[in-house]
Amino acid sequence: MPYLFTSESVSEGHPDKVADQISDALIDNFLAFDAQSKVACETLVTTGQVVLAGEVKSKAYLDVQDIARGVIKKIGYTKSEYMFEANSCGVLSAIHEQSADINQGVDRKKKEEQGAGDQGMMFGYATNETEHYMPLALDLAHNLLIELAAIRREKNSKMPYLRPDAKSQVTLEYDDNNRPVRIDAIVISTQHDDFDAEAKMLAKIKADVINILIPRIKSKYKKYAKLFNNDIKYHINPTGKFVIGGPHGDTGLTGRKIIVDTYGGKGAHGGGAFSGKDPSKVDRSAAYATRHIAKNLVAAGLCDEVLVQVSYAIGVAKPTSINVNTYGTANVELSDGEIAKIVEGIFDMRPYFIEQRLKLRNPIYSETAAYGHMGRVPEVVEKSFKSPDGKVKKVKVELFTWEKLDYVSKVKKAFGLK
């Protein structure tokens, strides 16, 4: 029987994502100047105020206020009428030394015996629904906001009233074979200038979303172009005007958008957030590693869809379990348990080896903190970091290494796939 499935996304200007981006900018700066930094950093943002808190073990000294203001400026909170502005907001730091009790469970004389930074379970998911092996509803939701932000920043923008805060939601109809056949509804709530009477503003924004934003999104999805038809139900700023937004409208906290960050409700989630954590925290590194496994399994043709789970005990290197669920889509005559055993032999899931395989001790995390950690495009970039004494350090890094299809040949060989 046909069914509906919905995923949402939030923009870089959403208060929770502002917090995530500040936390990950701190991670990047610590790692840029001391690759062995241990960091767990939380951020709170509200009207005119940023609060930083967390635990750090690092040789690096940072101007955390300057880093936070740089993130806020880049996002676009640069006007006093937003009631949260990069140059004028207060920044309070309550960052302190990491507990020695926690650190002793992670550091080991032999690097390969490095223990997990915490207990818990992490999940990675992949599906052949899209070219990036992501669920279509979430992929659409992310791209709606990526494109909306691009429109906001364009010179002579066709939607000049846009402000940084926004949310999206996409509902798809699936057939009995779990294939998307129709977009049922699209929800866009975008912050905007107060430029006219409310009814006129709402009519203008809705028309612009449908006539400017949607065609740009449709052009990105040639495979699914037929899903964009005149029967889509659009809910554009459904509560009315949305002038008051960002951290002035709602307080933002690090780690509150974990489903947006991962698979939009598909698969599963272990509950641990990513942003603000260095890679010794398996909440982050193992979630990336399981995504890497899942994507390579599907890309190799082992299955059409897969969920990979791994679990850890704090301070212990070897995972307590590895589980694979192919949802009955496996193309080999093996049980999911048998597949999991082979996967365990291909991918070493001890924390040190995850860090090495995915190059996670590099400053690569700011780019993950908005529009999803998964389904992104791997690329090499050069990044610059400035120390409090004015010295600039340039680092060439590889982003989104867990999205690489570098284990496809190994998977095919292990499973006898052509």
Task: Give the 3-state secondary structure of 2-64.
Answer: CEEEEEEEECCCCHHHHHHHHHHHHHHHHHHHCCCCEEEEEEEEECCEEEEEEEEECCCCCCH
104 marked ligand binding residue: no
**pLDDT of the residue at 192:** 98
What's the number of CA atoms in the CB half-sphere (13 Å) around residue 92?
Answer: 9
Say whether both 182 and 306 belong to one domain. Answer: no
pLDDT band at 289 (very low <50, low <70, confident <90, very high): very high
Asked whether residue 60 is marked as a ligand-binding residue, the answer is: no
Contact present, 323 and 299 (Cβ < 8 Å): no
**pLDDT tens per residue, range 135-147:** 999 999 999 999 9
Q: Is residue 264 domain-resident?
A: no
Distance CA 72, CA 94 (A): 19
100 is in an annotated binding site: no
Whether 309 has a binding-site annotation, put simply, is no
Q: Is residue 141 part of an annotated ligand binding site?
A: no
DSSP for residue 314 = B
Please give the average per-residue pLDDT across 346-371, as a whole number.
98
Q: Among 199, 230, 245, give the residue marking a domain's end.
A: 245
Half-sphere exposure of 337 (CA within 13 A, CB side): 0
pLDDT tens track for 319-342: 999 999 999 999 999 999 999 999
At 104 the pLDDT is 57
pLDDT above 70 covers a percentage of the chain that reads 97
Q: Check residue 278 and report its DSSP letter.
A: -
Rg of the chain, C-alpha, whole Å: 22
Is residue 101's pLDDT more than 70?
no
In a domain, 74, yes or no: no
Regarding whether 227 and 149 lie in a shared domain, the answer is yes
Position of tokens 């080991």?
A: 108
Does 111 show up as a binding residue in the annotation? no
The verdict on whether residue 250 carries a ligand-binding annotation is yes
pLDDT of 236 > 90? The answer is yes
Distance (Å, rounded) from C-alpha 203 to C-alpha 193? 14
Residue 65 among known ligand-binding residues: no
Residue 65 lies in a domain: no
DSSP 235-287: EESTTS---S-HHHHS-EETT--HHHHTTTTSS---S---TTB-TTSHHHHHH
Please count the CA atoms within 13 angstroms of the CA of 170 that sit on its side-chain side.
24
**Residue 349 resides in a domain:** yes
283 is in an annotated binding site: no
256 known member of a binding site: yes
Same domain, 320 and 366: yes
pLDDT band at 278 (very low <50, low <70, confident <90, very high): very high
Query: Does 17 carry a binding-site annotation?
Result: no
pLDDT of residue 167: 98
Main-chain dihedrals φ then ψ at residue 118, nearest 5 degrees: -165, 165
Exposure of 361 by Cβ count < 10 A (0-12 exposed, 13-18 middle, 19+ buried)?
A: middle
Residues 6+ apart with CB under 8 A from 215: none
Residue closest to 272 by CA, chosen among 229, 223, 310: 310
Confidence of residue 418 (pLDDT cuts 50, 70, 90): confident
Quote the pLDDT of residue 307: 98
**Measured between alpha carbons, how far is 28 from 14 in angstroms, rounded to an integer?**
21
Residues 219 and 288 in one domain: no
d(CA 31, CA 281): 14
Please say if the pLDDT value at position 113 is more than 80: no
Regarding whether 320 and 226 lie in a shared domain, the answer is no
* Residue 409 within a domain: yes
Taking each continuous run of H as one helix and of E as one strand, the counts in the chain are 12, 13
319 shares its domain with 240: no
pLDDT tops 90 at residue 204: yes
Instruction: Give pLDDT, residue 111.
Output: 77
| pLDDT > 70? residue 102 | no
Q: What is the mean pLDDT of residues 36-63?
A: 96
Q: Are residues 220 and 149 in the same domain?
A: yes
Mark whether 222 and 312 lie in a shared domain.
no
User: Which residues span the domain enclosing 144?
Assistant: 3-9+136-245
Q: Identify whether 28 is part of a domain.
A: no
Distance CA 32, CA 26 (A): 10
Q: How many other C-beta atoms are found inside a 10 Å radius of the C-beta of residue 239?
A: 7
98 is in an annotated binding site: yes
Please check whether residues 163 and 215 belong to one and the same domain.
yes
For residue 268, what are its two tokens? 């599963």
Residue 394 among known ligand-binding residues: no
Residue 147 lies in a domain: yes
- What's the mean pLDDT when you consider all of the chain? 96
Cβ–Cβ under 8 Å, residues 228 and 218: yes
- Check which CATH number belongs to the domain holding 237 and give it: 3.30.300.10
Do 355 and 236 lie in a common domain?
A: no
- What span, in angstroms and rounded, lies between the C-alpha atoms of 278 and 117? 10
Shared domain check, 292 and 226: no
Ligand-binding site membership of 336 (annotated):
no
d(CA 262, CA 255): 12
**pLDDT, greater one: 111 or 218:** 218
- DSSP assignment letter at 209: I
What is the Cα 128 distance to its own chain's centre? 19
Residues 289 and 192 in one domain: no
Question: Which class for 264: exposed (0-12), middle (13-18), buried (19 or more C-beta within 10 A)?
Answer: buried
| Residue 316 included in any domain | yes
Number of domains in the chain: 2
The encoded tokens of residue 285 equal: 């590194």
